[in-house]
Structure 1
Amino acid sequence: MDQARSTISKIFNGEPHSYTRFNLTRNMEGDNSQVEMKLSSDMDEETGGNGAGEHLNHNSNRKPYVAQKLGRTPQNLCFMAVATLLIFIIGYLIGYLVHRKKDLAPTCADSMVRYDNRAAIETGAAPLMNWDKVKKLLAEQVSADKFDSVFREFSSDNHRAGSLSDEVLGEKVVKRFREYGMKTWTDEHFVKVQDGPASGSNSFSYKGKQESPTGFLSYSANGTITGAVLYAFYGEEKNLRLLKSRNINMTGRVMLVKTGRISFAEKVANAAKMGASAVLIYPDPSKASIGGSTQLYGHVHLGSGDPYTPGFPSFNHTQFPPINSSGLPKILAQTITLDMAISILRQLGGGNAPEEWESPNKLGDDSDNITLGVDNVLSEKKIVNVFGVIKGFVDADRYVVIGAQRDAWGPGFAASTVGTSVLVELARSISDMVKNGGFKPRRSIVFASWSAGEYGSVGATEWLEGYLSSLSMKAFSYINLDGVVTGQKYLKVAASPLLHGLVESTLKEVNSPNKAGSLFSEFAKDNMESNVLEPMKLDNAAYPFLAFSGIPSASFRFTSENSDYLYFGTTLDTREKLNAATGNKVPQLAEAATRVAGHMVLRLVHDHLLRMDVEKYNKIIRNRVAQINNKVHSVLRLQPQLLSKVLTMQWLMSAYGSYSRASSKLAADIQNSNMDDIKMCRTLNDRIMMVERNFLSPYVSPRDTPFRHILLGSGPHTLQGLYGHLEALRMDHPEADAKLFRNQFALATWTIQGCANSLAGDVWSLDNEI
């Protein structure tokens, strides 16, 4: 080869050149470009040795360099032809010898994967697998027969948050995730929780009889008080307003209320607003099968997470201001048994309870005094959240989170065991679909096992607080598995309106465990809104994801009652009790719950566009605006001096119009876009993901008002709060403040407008006509 190079150099009468230079110039008279290749040794000759000059002149009449050196004589041309032929023959011989050597050498073709046999590489946004095939793969994985062994593995008689049993269960979950080939990690928090007295129990004394219930309500105020008992039905705001309309003084009273309809925390908060000094909560007598001596456990923090680090994560060795959540009650709260409550009710005097309450109870008078002492203990506990992830193949940094509570007050079979079992089985099923079934999720799936759920979704909320800035851009949905099986008569779903369409399509695809046909045909009966959908309550574990973090969330349950499961918050939540409530169909219902959650999750990571309907919020906003508009006119008729010439509904109506147009524009953009374009799909999905988050009011503090969602949150900043404030103005309530209302009205209006602006996309597409 060296001789060949030498020959070639001699032919061209010069030294071998190390590189060539390309000169690209544009033909100013047209769109074509001229490309002139010159050898680098031309440089000095063209430029006179200084690198600039004549090579820019394309009209030069000089002959090319080779022609000048060799000339176009017949002798030289013949010599060049012979040299070319010689080079070709040498090259052919070299190539033949190399190829022959390869043929004689041993091959490893059997151990290599040929390109043709490799898995297809996704180059567009279209799915690699048909959705019907995905459903079939999931159907082959999930079986009721597999659940009994899983139930046994994750059952425990006592696994309260922070206990050794809770930690052992977490280790079992991690082990399972690793067996499935998932990447796992844990998240530790050091949280403050309140348990019952270190020795003995809280107590109360009524008409000479001392009682000591062993149940307790975490985060109650401590101390001892004496006050007159007042029966207040369920402790709802409307119940207390009815008592007030009867001119019943509630200041300093000890309110006696029963479980149901609203959370313990809301009952206590409502009583505190009316000036009560304490609240006693007992089991609803209509659920008498719970037993007269059954103790109740729960919490009364009107919020979620560690109430001593509101808005901040409870990581170890972190120092945040020593503040308390605004949701911590300042009055005493305690649970009592049904037998204890009946004894008190029988001895009450005073007037009769309202007929609407359908109760023969007396309300109580000033002489029905009770003394209550609460001495709960606040302690710090380490809790551990456990995670596993199946990574996506296109947008791996976008993920759906599916989670279940792991702890419980006692056995917690319905509260945590079933949900944890469904979580683990779903992780196994989808992992196997990816490894052996050829399924390739576009986006990632994060499986989460939370601790301290019984204290108010503490584990989940602390995780949200710790990683909120990251989650707000990447987590696009949350599916909650807590309490998914408590009966079989009804199916109830609480979800963000963005997910209603996904829920409906899922119920139509999943078969019922009770009878032939789909879940939709059995439970929805062609009207999902009235028969299946329900509002998401404050004590739902999905609520902080939705109202605090702005992540579209869903929670569902098979149930025998429209109210909560009878044995939640007790030590009677066992497999036997759940069998009785479900007709011994727990495995079959767990299978159905796995299919529901699985179909929702797989749809969210399979389709090129997220299954979320941004136009669903149009109706909700329109209805709230109409309600506020009617109430404003009512206030103007009765209290014209408060709002006259200061407030106009045009602002809020225009903001609603902007959102309506922006959501319709996004729907049109989706219809007119190329769905094979990954970048385009990602841009559209990002616009969809921002909707829920932009309904979080940026004008309130997440520490003081954690549930900032103006449509689904809680507080005076919400549209529902504005409606309530208008009612207070109409009634000339002393706490009503017209100036404060106008400020909140303006901020809520601009929050809706800001959401519309974000949904519209580019800045030149915005509509700010307010």
Structure 2
Amino acid sequence: MDRKSYFKFIAFNMCIFLIAFLLAFYLTPSVYHRTTLQSIKDLDDTFLKNTLNAVDRDRLRNFLRSYASKPHMAGTQKDKVNAEKLYKFWKELGYEAKIIPYRVLLSFPSGNREETNLVRFKKRNNSWWTSRALEKQLDGISNQSDHIVRPFNAFSGSGNVTGTLVYVNYGREMDFLYLRNKFKVDFRGKIAVAKYGKIFRGDKAKTAERWNASGLILFTAPKDYAPKFAGKVYPDGILMPSDGVQRGSLKLEGDLLTPGWSATDESFNYRLNIDEAQLVKIPVLPISYGDAEILLQGFEKEAVQKYNLTSDWEHGLEFENIDASAYYRYEKSNDYTKQVTLIVNVTKEIRTTYNVHAILEGSIETDRYVIVGNHRDAWIYGAIDPSSGTAALLEISAILAKAKKDGWSPKRTIIFCSWAAEEQGLIGSTEWVEQFSNIISARAVAYLNTDIAVLGTSTLRGGTSSGLISNVLLEAAKRVENPNKTAIGYGLKTVYDSWKKYMPDRDNAKRPYISPLGSGSDYQPFINYLGITSVDIFYMYDPVRSIFLIFIYPTF
């Protein structure tokens, strides 16, 4: 079986697991004790088996191709087309479906691709070096460069600044303090360069601005995302190639102009001014590590190093000349720095984006909700993040719609949700939670997030916000056969067995590790705003390799 076929096979089995989890959840008692529950029969094993067998590989593949074949960034025409397509699909299945438009603040790069959202410097021969406008086409299929958004950080400030570079490690407060205290670095007028990782990119930007840097450049360091010991880069392996760039938002709070209330036409139409949204004002730009190697390379081949830095400051870049990323370590440090110009043009504009939801009414606890959600938007194609999750969501909804027509009903109501504008700051899910907060807080039993269904082919990974749902997750994993036939030969018969093998719990190796959920996806408003029990699950590569992945690689 080739890599793509096996990847699709895992997607098929991940969908089976999601269904098993969803159905297993109905075996857990409600927190409200009702006499009607006494007569409820537990989930029938035959029904579970028949339902899992209904997963259709070809339909999954078609769902994925349909939503990942073209770029579909939030607020674009393709975003609207996909929302309408999903609404029609759910209506045809017999669901009570609805599209909800939201007028929200979104961010886009602007200006000529060759003249803005770039970093450049003049070389010794007086020619100009400029960062890449787009990644290389690696798959031989994609040919839509006009529709691919250039690398940018949403909600960055705009500006044209020139200055010397100062490498600030991960851009944390402790990193800036270290440079000031040890090397007496003055950040005023300098352009900070930071590795992605450790903290949220928006916090890096705020920290750089607070220390009076004139701009910030972010890059994915090979040490963290493509170390040589972990394998090959895409397309020959799973690691980020040298021209790959991590796009991302600098904000995570939903619509920035309507904090605490939903941005619908039905809501009272008050919005903050943009200058009240506490956005960073300095220009921020992500670049590839291939460009970072050129940008941070010194002009001279020899230098006298005065200080060493800890291994935490290593980046894994390779240089022909000296490593000028930490120029402050060298004598005559000004000989190893260069004047760099950073040009960023990013707009902030109110556009319409769309949530879509479908309701499958329960038979006993109709007023108790299990919510299943996946965001629909992507920075570019999003074959893995989010479209693998979108395909799984659609397949599950199709299977349960058929079961409903055949006479089955869930005990509790299931709500399938397709979120808008997650990449720009968890906007769709946050606005929905704000809009329906009174109902959700009173009636929601749990939220299941399927941001990414398949990231790799080795093992399941799960995160939860409570012990109750963790037990449901573990029981579901025991019910699903391991998709890896080779692993079955070694005694790993179920998804649970391989999960425990690859990711044992740190305190109890007899069970798999379940990570606590934070704020990285659409479960955030459910947990942090309303305290709703939540879970996020996906299939991934083995843990040693998976920590180096960026979700847009590989795509297909």
Q: Same fold (TM over 0.5)?
A: yes
Match status 1:497 vs 2:466: yes
Of 280, 292, 312, 1:329 maps to 280
- Structure in which a larger fraction of residues adopt helix: 1
Q: Letter of the 2:497 partner, please give it.
A: S
Match status 1:211 vs 2:192: no
* TM superposition shift of 1:359: 4.7
Match status 1:556 vs 2:537: yes
TM-score (norm 1): 0.54
* 8 Å Cα contact 1:415/1:573 also seen in 2: no
Residue 395 of structure 2 is matched in structure 1 by 425
Structure 2 Cα separation of the partners of residues 373 and 285 of structure 1: 25
* TM superposition shift of 1:139: 1.8
Of 407, 411, 414, 2:381 maps to 411
TM-score (norm 2): 0.74
Question: 1:277-292 to 2 correspondence within 5 Å?
Answer: 277-286=214-223, 287-288=225-226, 289=233, 290-292=240-242
* TM superposition shift of 1:427: 0.6
* TM superposition shift of 1:126: 3.2
Q: Single out whichever of 521-530 and 292-301 deviates more from structure 2.
A: 521-530
Residue 294 of structure 1 is matched in structure 2 by 244
* 8 Å Cα contact 1:159/1:165 also seen in 2: yes
Q: Letter of the 1:254 partner, please give it.
A: I
Q: Secondary structure at the match of 1:455?
A: coil
RCO greater where, 1 or 2, for CA within 8 Å and sep 6 or more? 2
Residue 517 of structure 2 is matched in structure 1 by 536
Q: Secondary structure at the match of 2:206?
A: helix
Residue 522 of structure 1 is matched in structure 2 by 498
Structure 1 Cα separation of the partners of residues 186 and 249 of structure 2: 23
Match status 1:202 vs 2:117: yes
Structure 2 Cα separation of the partners of residues 457 and 503 of structure 1: 24
Identity %: 25
**Relative to structure 1, is the Cα distance of residues 244 and 524 closer, same or farther in structure 2, using a 3 angstrom cutoff?**
farther
* 8 Å Cα contact 1:129/1:439 also seen in 2: no
Structure 2 Cα separation of the partners of residues 250 and 500 of structure 1: 49
Per-residue CA deviation, residues 553-573 of structure 1 (Å, 9 max, x unaligned), is 1112222244364353xxx66
Per-residue CA deviation, residues 174-224 of structure 1 (Å, 9 max, x unaligned), is 222122211111111011111001433323333554525441111012223
Question: 1:154-233 to 2 correspondence within 5 Å?
Answer: 154-200=67-113, 201-207=116-122, 209=128, 211=130, 213=133, 214-233=150-169
Q: Secondary structure at the match of 1:433?
A: helix
Of 245, 269, 282, 1:319 maps to 269
**Relative to structure 1, is the Cα distance of residues 500 and 315 closer, same or farther in structure 2, using a 3 angstrom cutoff?**
same
* 8 Å Cα contact 1:221/1:331 also seen in 2: yes
* TM superposition shift of 1:131: 4.3
**Relative to structure 1, is the Cα distance of residues 337 and 544 closer, same or farther in structure 2, using a 3 angstrom cutoff?**
same
**Relative to structure 1, is the Cα distance of residues 359 and 305 closer, same or farther in structure 2, using a 3 angstrom cutoff?**
closer
* 8 Å Cα contact 1:277/1:331 also seen in 2: yes
Q: Which runs of 5+ in 2 are unaligned?
A: 1-34, 134-149, 227-232, 234-239, 317-322
Structure 1 Cα separation of the partners of residues 46 and 435 of structure 2: 38
Structure 2 Cα separation of the partners of residues 268 and 280 of structure 1: 9
Of 255, 268, 279, 2:205 maps to 268
Match status 1:251 vs 2:164: no
Residue 447 of structure 1 is matched in structure 2 by 416
* 8 Å Cα contact 1:401/1:448 also seen in 2: yes
* 8 Å Cα contact 2:357/2:417 also seen in 1: yes
Structure 2 Cα separation of the partners of residues 537 and 565 of structure 1: 19
Residue 237 of structure 2 is matched in structure 1 by none
Structure 2 Cα separation of the partners of residues 277 and 451 of structure 1: 33
Give the length in aligned residue pairs.
Answer: 449
Q: Letter of the 1:335 partner, please give it.
A: P
Q: Letter of the 2:358 partner, please give it.
A: G
**Relative to structure 1, is the Cα distance of residues 276 and 484 closer, same or farther in structure 2, using a 3 angstrom cutoff?**
farther
Residue 30 of structure 2 is matched in structure 1 by none
Q: Letter of the 1:357 partner, please give it.
A: W
Structure 2 Cα separation of the partners of residues 524 and 275 of structure 1: 47
Output the aligned Cα RMSD: 2.8
Per-residue CA deviation, residues 444-501 of structure 1 (Å, 9 max, x unaligned), is 0000111212212211111112221221111221111112211123432221024222
Q: Secondary structure at the match of 2:496?
A: helix
Residue 357 of structure 1 is matched in structure 2 by 313
Question: 1:704-715 to 2 correspondence within 5 Å?
Answer: none
Q: Secondary structure at the match of 2:253?
A: coil
Q: Letter of the 1:544 partner, please give it.
A: P
* TM superposition shift of 1:522: 0.6
Per-residue CA deviation, residues 403-458 of structure 1 (Å, 9 max, x unaligned), is 1111112211111221111001111112222321x433221000011121221221
- Structure in which a larger fraction of residues adopt strand: 2
Q: Which runs of 5+ in 1 are unaligned?
A: 1-121, 576-770
Q: Letter of the 1:370 partner, please give it.
A: V
When Rg is computed on C-alpha atoms for both structures, the one with the higher figure is 1
**Relative to structure 1, is the Cα distance of residues 248 and 444 closer, same or farther in structure 2, using a 3 angstrom cutoff?**
farther
